[in-house]
Structure 1
Amino acid sequence: MKKLTVLFFLISSFFYSQHTEEELKNLLFDIDFSAAGPKEIEKIDSLITICKKDSYNDCVALGYLKIANIYDKMNDTKKSFYYIDKVEKENLITSDTDFEVIFYLHLQKSFLYRKLGERVASFKQLDEIYDEAMKTDNAYFIYLINRQYADKYVETNKDLSLKYNKIAYKYSRIYRENKGKRYRIDKNRLYNSYKTSAYLGGIYIDLNKLDSAKIYIDEAIQNERKVDDIGLKYITSLYAGRYFRMVNNVEQSQHYLWIAKNIAKNYYKSENYQIGVGDELNALYKSIGQKDSIGYYSNWLVDIEDVNREQNQTLNDTVDKQSELENTKRNKETKGLFFILSASIAVCILFIFLFLYYYRKHKSKNLDKIDVPHQSPVQESIFKEVIQLAKENNPEFLTRFNEYCPRFSEELLKVSPLKISEIRFCAYIYLNFSTKEIAEYTFISVRTVQTKKYNIRKKLNIPGDMDIYVWFSKLLK
């Protein structure tokens, strides 16, 4: 067997080495996902080896992500995480990386975090690529990201979930129609795009709009009969089973849910698939009062969740350990750079000190020529009080500031109808407080201050090439 394996690898190496990176990526996409297992993983590994040999980094990264996806389907979350992590560990993501790789990396991370129950982290991965995916004008990317967004809102906002499902449905049809032959239509993507009908039917079921649900469930059943794909059959059967349960057609509901259950047990070891169909069967038997079946599926769901809990605990430990190792490595690198940075900073400080010393010395020669404005003792006293109130974030700050600069608010409101809170923020800028100081005195983050400055710029139409502090300094002149 070892000799045969070596021989197969040599033959495949010769065959694949004649291909470009794009052709090798297409070979990866052509490997069936729905029924994929160890054999498919071996094939992908051999393709990754060839891609590494030719320094096809995008191809290597996509290979790792496809293996991660297969392990996720097989409910081996630890190995799925391992292959996702390899993409970053081997520095495969650079400024030249194709968006397709970045897109799938974020999707796979989102799936992983969702399994761990870290919904915020999962949604963050989607948010980081949504706008860019929509700009690609690639119907498949747009379909896929909106499908994930639909899942994001399915538990919290059904109407938003419906909105994103409709977008996904629209672009999945555009992808399949492929006018002008814009897209490469491979089997996995094609079959995946057919799932939108079932998903759309599912959200209409959740909204109790059964007439609309029927249209898309019937369409999903017709689509499933057109193509032979396990994944499409599972999704269609699951939502068809749910629909027929809602319309009290027990026989049809049971028929489709058993199909989904057998597929989940034989092809999809991931608990998401099994819990989905288990919940539906449980609900079906509760509706007809079959206590034995209710007990069976309740226990089945408990067993799935126990296994999932153990796996997630192991994975969380792995993730924590990985983070700890990365922190240790980072600390070592930091210590190594500390002495160099310290020396550099010291030189810079010395240079700045000398520059300021000679600059002031030069300026002092012409001091008698400078017209320096003076404030009256009263104004100076008010100014100091205003500064102190600003530093304390005192509610009286704006009132006292308006006494110090009575025309300030009036001039601002001539430009734009600002809110009181925005005028207060503008006062901090007028007093020449830095971003860091404003954040410190008003108890908000530096990022928030930067965002507020950006919004103020837009509202006041401050030119992009003008410093905001300069603009405010000229406001009352």
Structure 2
Amino acid sequence: MIAYTACIGLLLLISCQQNTQDKNIERFDISLAERNTELQLSGEYEALIRLNVDYLKQAAKMKYYAGKGLCYLNIADVNVSAGNYEKALFFFNKAEKRLANSKNNYHRALFYNDYSLYYSHLKLYDKAIEYNTKAFHYLKEAKESSLKNKLLPRLYVNKGIYFARKGWYGTSLKSFLKANELENSAYSNCMVAQYYLFVNEPNSAQMYIARAAEKMSAQKTSDVESLWVYYTMGYYYNEINSNDEAEAALKKALEINIKTRRTYSSHIEGVYKSLSELYKKKNDGGKAYFYLKKYMEEEGRLDAARLATMNKTTENFISEMEKESEWHKNDLPLLVALSITVFTISGIYVQKMIKMLRAKKVSLKQETEELKYNVYHKMLQEVTELAKKNDSSFLLKFKELYPDFINALLKINPDLENSELVFCAMLKLKFSSKEIADYTFVQHKSIQQKKYRIRKRLNISGEEDIYNFFEKLSV
């Protein structure tokens, strides 16, 4: 009887300890998820890293193996959002060892969801769909919890994105609508709106944008969620040619991005592209060119990061195979065959990416040159009009159009007066003597005398055409 009672007591003690451990683990997961999300969506990079380091230490004290994996996963996520794909892969590998085979199905679902996002950023949508499907599978098997309920709509959003990129619009729309039914947040409404904008149905997008804006005003949304709302609004207004509203919304998105870019810079190139298109429609070539250049720089950075990550992944795979070959000499023919396959597949992918990037570069270069041409001719027209009006701001605007011209003149003769610089600028614009006389309200004879003095002041020979001299002096 004593032994029986002792056994029962021991079992109860173990059961209590297990329940306590389970509760501690649940508290750990919820607290880490909430605090990490809050810091990432507000752009606080250093605080986010400190938080995960602290939780790594807690997990070690608790001997909570999967807890470490969650911390590594968080650090991988923030690197994906910032476009640091190589660093993200390093932390994904560390997280995978602790989460992919976890007995907690929520952990496995979370890992595969984040891994699918990583592959989506690399534009490998088939792999993204594969891991998204795994995430759905494990989340279905997970026990009910608040974390499970938060993750489910995000799985549907991501599924919608991947299928839209693949051109499977029916499945994509169903996924976005399901996510919005489950979450009904500013973000989920934005995603439905963006789907309709993506398929050129702005009228259908309007209702969801209004809902997103209403929720942003009524609720306390994160900085990143607000960024998404303003970007989607700008995207919509751009599509329906409401230029002023589009500009205000997109500028607001850029303003928020200054704060969040260290932890969440995803899709900011879309804001740059939208602004470039907007200013092109508004015939403001200077700003259109500026934002097109920003878009190209951001796209170039991300494309370079994607290629570097693909190459690094291939190298690591080959390296692992070489290590294996030391242990399995008999498998050498198989390893060689696999190596050839990996090199071939990665080679095809890299070539495809390079071809796509070259085509994009050619297209963007043409658009850039067109914008530069339009900017130049618009400025030339403005400067010419100021000269015709004999406006006092003519020389200042002329310097913006030809920044090196005045310096080149002063290099020849530093003592040139301001009125002489204005006269030279008008000759640079190929105004005839009669035109200059009319615009400056002087006699034609005075202009001829001015030309003679300028020749002497700039050492222009009598045989050289004065217009050719100024044409060659500075472009």
Which TM class, normalised by the smaller chain length? Answer: 0.5 to 0.7
The within-5 A match list for 1:38-437 is 38-88=46-96, 91-93=97-99, 95-134=101-140, 138-155=148-165, 156-173=167-184, 193-225=185-217, 226-268=219-261, 272-334=266-328
User: Are residue 21 (structure 1) and residue 25 (structure 2) matched?
Assistant: yes
| Inter-CA distance 94–240: structure 2 relative to 1 (3 Å threshold) | closer
State how far apart, in whole Å, the 1-side matches of 2:86 and 2:100 are.
25
- Alpha-carbon distance change, 268 to 97 in structure 1, aligned in 2, over 3 angstroms: farther
Number of the residue aligned with 1:444: none
Residue 377 (structure 2) aligns with: none
Q: CA deviation at 1:127?
A: 2.6
Alpha carbons 1:198, 1:217 under 8 Å: kept: yes
* Alignment correspondent of 1:347: none
Partner of 2:10: none
Aligned amino acid, residue 232 of structure 1: E
Gaps in structure 2 of 5+ consecutive residues: 1-20, 333-475
Q: Deviations over 1:287-345 (max 9, x none)?
A: 3232112211111111112222332333233322321232233334435999xxxxxxx
Separation (CA, whole Å) in 2 of partners of 1:324 and 1:30: 39
CA distance in 1, matches of 2:30, 2:133: 27
Once residues 334 and 65 of structure 1 are traced to their aligned partners in structure 2, the CA distance between those partners, rounded to angstroms, is: 33
Structure 1 partner of 2:425: none
Letter of the 1:79 counterpart: K
Deviation at 1:149, TM superposition (A): 1.0
Equivalent-residue separation in structure 2 for 1:165 and 1:114 (angstroms)? 16
Change (3 A) 1:337 1:239: closer
Contact 1:153 1:160 in 2 (8 A): yes
* Partner SS state of residue 88, structure 2: helix
Q: Is the 8 A contact 1:201 1:217 kept in 2?
A: yes
CA 1:305–1:256: 2 relative to 1, 3 Å: same
Return the letter of the residue paired with 1:142. L
CA distance in 2, matches of 1:206, 1:169: 17
Give me the CA root mean square deviation: 2.7
8 Å Cα contact 1:133-1:145 kept in structure 2: no
Aligned 8 A contact 2:180 2:188 in 1? yes
CA distance in 2, matches of 1:42, 1:18: 25
Displacement after TM superposition at 1:121 (Å): 2.0
* CA deviation string 1:182-227 (max 9, x = no partner): xxxxxxxxxxx54101111222233444343222111101111221
Deviations 1:400-439 (A, max 9, x none): xxxxxxxxxxxxxxxxxxxxxxxxxxxxxxxxxxxxxxxx
Whichever residue aligns with residue 162 of structure 1, its letter is L
> How far apart, in 2, do the equivalents of 1:314 and 1:233 lie?
32
Contact 1:146–1:168 (Cα < 8 Å) also in 2: yes
Conserved in 2, the CA contact under 8 Å of 1:260 and 1:277? yes
Residue aligning to 1:417:
none
Letter in 2 for 1:108: D
1:42-66 per-position Cα deviation (integer Å, ceiling 9, x unaligned): 2211211220232212221111111
Q: In structure 1, what is the Cα distance between the partners aligned to 2:56 and 2:250?
A: 38
C-alpha deviation, 1:29, in angstroms: 1.1
Give distance in 2, aligned partners of 1:94 and 1:265: 35
TM-score (ref. length: structure 1): 0.58
- C-alpha distance in structure 2 between counterparts of 1:71 and 1:163, whole Å: 30
Aligned residue number for residue 179 of structure 1: none
C-alpha deviations, 1:112-154, integer Å up to 9, x for none?
2222232222222113333443565744333111101110122
- Per the alignment, residue 186 of structure 1 pairs with none
8 Å contact kept, 2:113–2:135:
no
C-alpha displacement of 1:96: 4.3
Post-superposition CA distance 1:266-303 (Å, at most 9, x none): 31256642212112112222332321122111111111
> SS of the residue aligned with 1:154?
helix
Structure 1 distance, partners of 2:100, 2:74, is 19
Shift of 1:26: 1.8
Q: Which runs of 5+ in 1 are unaligned?
A: 1-16, 174-192, 339-477
Deviating more after overlay: 217-226 vs 316-325: 316-325
- Judging changes above 3 Å, is the alpha-carbon distance between structure 1 residues 93 and 70 closer, same or farther for their aligned structure 2 residues? closer
